[in-house]
Amino acid sequence: MMLTALALVVALAAAVSPSRAQSRTQIEFWYGLGQPLGGLIEKIVADFNASQTQYQVNPSFKGSYPETMVGAIAAFRAGTAPHIVQMFEVGTATMMSARGAVKPVHELMKETGVAFDPNVYVPAVKGYYSLPDGRMVAMPFNSSTTIMFYNKDAFKKAGLDPAKPPQTWPDLVAAAKKIKAANAAPCAFTTAWPTWAQFEQFSAIHDVPLATKANGMAGLDAELKINSPLHVKHVQNLIDMQKEGTFKYGGRDAAGDALFPSGECAMIHASSGLRARIMREAKFEWAPAMLPYWPGTPNAPKNSIIGGAAFWVMTSPTRKPEEYKGVAEFFRFISQPDVVAKWHTDTGFLPVTAAGYEKVKASGFYQQNPGTDLPYLQLTRTQPSENSRGLRLGNMPEIRNIIQEELEKAFQGQQTAQQALDNAVQRGNVVLRNFERANRS
Amino acid sequence: MQRRVIFDGKILPYLLLLPQVVITLVFFFWPAGQAVYQSFMLQDAFGLRQTFVGLENYRIVLADPLYLASAGRTVIFSAAVTVLAMASALALAVMADRQIRGAAAYKTLLIWPYAVAPAVAAVLWLFVFHPAIGIVGRGLRDLGLAWDYKLNGVQAMGLVILAASWKQVSYNFLFFLAGLQAIQKPVIEAAAIDGAGPARRFWSIVFPLLSPTTFFLLVVNLVYAFFGTFGVIHALTAGGPGKSTETLIYKLWVDGVINLDLGGSSAQSVILLVVVMALTGIQFRFIERRVHYG
């Protein structure tokens, strides 16, 4: 009787004693990608956790990129910031200026002694997340670029050649008209991330500035330049298409994504990362294509710029050195060519290291899956100029919302393209000046 | 002669009040105090640097044409929601108060919407009225109407007014019903005997006797329209399209949480607080004297 009781107590004690997992250093990781990409990130984290026994990374989905950014900042103010946060590219300026809240990657790797070579990264990616002197502040992971996806079945129905997507804007307008005339799809053309696709990428591809000071990379005193004649012409074209019924405004940020896989719109400008969702949901034949450009613009078409997100390390009053070591080990894990290559082939995101790209190329993946190397080719198409290296503008999420608001008013017929862009420039510059003032010290 | 009940204990009353006072202090006074404090500061997003700037945030906010436009929009929105919610509730209460079959069922079902969380209510309305995936939304488009509240500001405002009022109708209905049932039947019967028709009976007898309830609901509804409608707007339109449904409470959230301008957002919070306090004060001062307490 006593022996049974004793055995029971011992068994109970063993059951409630700290499990093996809890003796690992816990690292909190917040990410902002929905399914199916979020699931793929969690798989990578699970692989890392399984590959060693010292650290445990706990991933949690915190909403969209803007929501994750706000959540991380609020958590920092409360002293409970996560160790790693996935922050989208337009939050870069805000994160870079947050000295004290953010631990730059170069500093992290040096302190923890984990081997790190920034030159393994593709120049467009490295340049976006580095200080002027080349030291990296964030860990690139899911860099994307904007490309076009088009519905080959709808093209066939409209009498267009499905192997020849439109390469210039006039061609796109003509194709959209044909699709509408043949009723090949309820809507001919839409865009996701209107500001990223139709302003930031647009400016890079046409080699025109989005803002002064090399799009903000060269100084906090940048000013917006999105009301140039070319931008006005482009927005006016979209307004005209919308009035004609060939363009449908899909909404802000990622809202437009849903319109392509469902078959509603025949052409879309979206993140290359939308590929995973299209593969899963589209019930029609489709293909990717490069973004169109306006012929006659000097230097066009240039390389596009990256989007997507990177991983930032946040500080907290309760951080311990072994937690930072865990973060560094996780970063080393995700920059291995295998992981980079698999993430790229599973999704539409780019291979962020040259080694990753070479590995995928050598495996014959690009021959078996035509079009999957298109984002990478568009990104590396030319040597970047000052206008196509990327952008670094403070409070960019707010500026994007301003541009989206002015666009919405223009689409409702309440103002012309010129007025919309002039307003956007004026309001956006106020935001930039406020950011400059709050971060000058 | 009035009978008053007097308790002996000195500490018990305070102890009983303590939980409510603590909640009020922690959830109302403390954040309000922080808002006042932060409204005088200029901060970066992370709160790492802050400088005292006096009344500058207030000056910027009050001079901002977007703020004034939002204020105008809020007036229209609040008036519409209050009128719609109270009028519908009053009509429903009057009808549910009669001796009809299923009166109990009507009374129960009319109270349910109040239990629905604002954001959930908004999503329900979204699923009904969305131009691409909503039943009524698609129906309207099939009928040939250009229904797209995601692009038409007036339609968006109409929709949020409807969704916000719908939620509040139940609350008002409950109070109006109780108020109606408290009116003594002999008074109405006497009026009927004297030859007053139903409309005359309502406006001359029932409505004045209902005025304490109406006054109370007016105050509560206005506060709800100003502050409690955030969830509905956020889930349905997020202030869009093009700011057409951005009321003051929504604007101050966007400026604080999305645009990370805590100084400006706090200034807007304080201004809104003062405005609603003044509005309530005006109601008590001028309208309450017309209330007929039985």
Mean pLDDT of chain B: 89
pTM: 0.79
Distance, in angstroms, between A398 CA and closest chain B CA?
5
Mutate which: A67, A68, A77, vs B, most B CBs within 10 A: A77
pLDDT value at A14 more than 60: no
Nearest C-alpha in B relative to A258: B132
The answer to whether A99 contacts B44, with C-beta atoms less than 8 Å apart, is: no
Distance, in angstroms, between B44 CA and closest chain A CA?
5
CB-CB contact of A344 with A270 (8 Å):
no
Average pLDDT over residues A247-265: 90
The residue type found at B252 is L
Average pLDDT over residues B44-49: 82
Three-state DSSP string of chain A: CHHHHHHHHHHHHHHHCCCCHHHCEEEEEEECCCCCHHHHHHHHHHHHHHHCCCEEEEEEECCCHHHHHHHHHHHHHCCCCCCEEEEEHHHHHHHHCCECCEECHHHHHHHHCCCCCHHHECHHHHHHCECCCCCECCEEEEEECEEEEEEHHHHHHHCCCCCCCCCEHHHHHHHHHHHHHHCCCCEEEEECCHHHHHHHHHHHHCCCCCEHHHHCCCCCCCCECCCCHHHHHHHHHHHHHHHHCCEEECCCHHHHHHHCCCCCEEEEEEEHHHHHHHHHHCCCCEEEECCCECCCCCCCCCCCCCEEEEEEEECCCCCCHHHHHHHHHHHHHHCCHHHHHHHHHHCCCCCCEHHHHHHHHHCCHHHHCCCCCHHHHHHCCCCCCCCCCCCCCCCHHHHHHHHHHHHHHHHCCCCCHHHHHHHHHHHHHHHHHHHHHHCCC
What is the pLDDT at residue B39? Answer: 93
d(CA A258, CA B219): 43
The reply to whether B134 falls in a domain is: yes
Q: Which band of pLDDT confidence, cut at 50, 70 and 90, is reported for residue A2? A: low
The residue type found at A85 is V
The answer to whether A412 contacts B243, with C-beta atoms less than 8 Å apart, is: no
What is the pLDDT at residue A3? Answer: 66
What is the pLDDT at residue A23? Answer: 81
Predicted confidence (pLDDT) per residue in A179-196, tens digit: 999 999 999 999 999 999
The answer to whether B151 contacts A408, with C-beta atoms less than 8 Å apart, is: yes
Nearest C-alpha in B relative to A397: B259
> How many other CB atoms are found less than 10 A from the CB of residue A410?
25
Closest CA to B268 of B81, B80, B79, B66: B66
Predicted confidence (pLDDT) per residue in A347-396, tens digit: 889 999 989 999 999 999 999 888 889 999 999 888 888 898 889 998 89
The answer to whether B42 contacts A98, with C-beta atoms less than 8 Å apart, is: no
The reply to whether B240 falls in a domain is: yes
For residue B48, what is the enclosing H or E element? none
Mutate which: B46, B236, B259, vs A, most A CBs within 10 A: B46
> Token pair for residue B170?
């139940």
Average pLDDT over residues B144-153: 86
The residue type found at A235 is V
Average pLDDT over residues A1-19: 60
Of A98, A252, A434, the CB nearest to B46: A98
Closest CA to B239 of B76, B125, B73, B116: B73
Nearest C-alpha in A relative to B51: A438
Mean pLDDT of chain A: 90
Residue A321: cis peptide before it, omega within 30 degrees of 0: no
In the block, tokens 């008002």 appear at B172
CB-CB contact of A289 with A374 (8 Å):
yes
Residue B241: cis peptide before it, omega within 30 degrees of 0: yes
What is the pLDDT at residue A276? Answer: 86
Q: Who has greater pLDDT, B292 or B67? A: B67
pLDDT value at B249 more than 60: yes
pLDDT value at A6 more than 80: no
pLDDT value at B50 more than 60: yes
Q: Which residues contact A307 (CB under 8 A, 6 or more apart)?
A: A88, A89, A143, A144, A145, A146, A193, A196, A200, A201, A271
Closest CA to A257 of A246, A247, A271: A271
Predicted confidence (pLDDT) per residue in A405-429, tens digit: 999 999 988 999 999 999 999 999 9
What is the pLDDT at residue B5? Answer: 77
- Residues in chain B whose Cβ is within 8 Å of chain A: 42-49, 132, 150-153, 238, 240-243, 254, 257-261
What is the pLDDT at residue A7? Answer: 62
Residue B79: HSE in the Cβ half-sphere, 13 Å Cα cutoff: 6
Q: What is the largest CA-CA distance in chain A?
A: 94
Tell me B149's DSSP state.
Answer: T
Average pLDDT over residues A267-282: 92
Mutate which: A238, A243, A395, A427, vs B, most B CBs within 10 A: A395
What residues in A contact B47, CB-CB < 8 Å? 76-77
3 state DSSP class of B292: coil
What residues in B contact A406, CB-CB < 8 Å? 242
By CB atoms closer than 10 A (0-12, 13-18, 19+), residue B264 is: buried
Q: Kindly give the residue spans of alpha helices, DSSP state H, lying in chain B.
A: 12-24, 30-39, 56-63, 65-96, 103-111, 118-129, 135-142, 153-181, 185-193, 198-201, 207-209, 211-223, 230-236, 248-253, 262-282
The answer to whether B46 contacts A408, with C-beta atoms less than 8 Å apart, is: no
d(CA B27, CA B21): 10
d(CA A3, CA A9): 10
Residue B183 lies in domain: 73-290
pLDDT value at B63 more than 70: yes
3 state DSSP class of B101: coil
List the CATH code of the domain at A146-304+396-438.
3.40.190.10
CATH number at residue B147: 1.10.3720.10
What is the pLDDT at residue B223? Answer: 93
Decide whether A24-143+306-363 matches A146-304+396-438 in CATH topology: yes
What is the pLDDT at residue A16? Answer: 54
The answer to whether A101 contacts B258, with C-beta atoms less than 8 Å apart, is: no
The answer to whether B240 contacts A438, with C-beta atoms less than 8 Å apart, is: no
d(CA B84, CA B106): 19
- Determine which of A114-123, A411-420, B68-77 has the lowest per-residue pLDDT on average: A114-123
Q: Which residues contact A119 (CB under 8 A, 6 or more apart)?
A: A126
The reply to whether B64 falls in a domain is: no
What is the pLDDT at residue B257? Answer: 83
Closest CA to A40 of A141, A111, A126, A140: A141
What residues in B contact A66, CB-CB < 8 Å? 258
In the block, tokens 């990223």 appear at A196
Q: Which band of pLDDT confidence, cut at 50, 70 and 90, is reported for residue B76? A: very high
What residues in A contact B151, CB-CB < 8 Å? 249, 408, 411-412
> Token pair for residue A132?
């002027």
Distance, in angstroms, between A204 CA and closest chain B CA?
25
The answer to whether A405 contacts B242, with C-beta atoms less than 8 Å apart, is: yes
pLDDT value at A105 more than 90: yes
Of A70, A101, A438, the CB nearest to B257: A70
Average pLDDT over residues B116-125: 89
What is the pLDDT at residue B287? Answer: 83
In the block, tokens 């006593």 appear at A2
The answer to whether B260 contacts A439, with C-beta atoms less than 8 Å apart, is: no
Relative to beta strand A187-191, strand B50-52 is unpaired
Question: What residue segments make up the domains of chain A, in order of their start?
Answer: 24-143+306-363, 146-304+396-438
The reply to whether B32 falls in a domain is: no
Q: Which band of pLDDT confidence, cut at 50, 70 and 90, is reported for residue B156? A: very high
pLDDT value at B64 more than 80: yes
Topology given in CATH for the domain delimited by A24-143+306-363: D-Maltodextrin-Binding Protein; domain 2 (3.40.190)
The reply to whether B5 falls in a domain is: no
CB-CB contact of B160 with B77 (8 Å):
yes
Q: Which band of pLDDT confidence, cut at 50, 70 and 90, is reported for residue A22? A: low
Count of domains forming chain B: 1
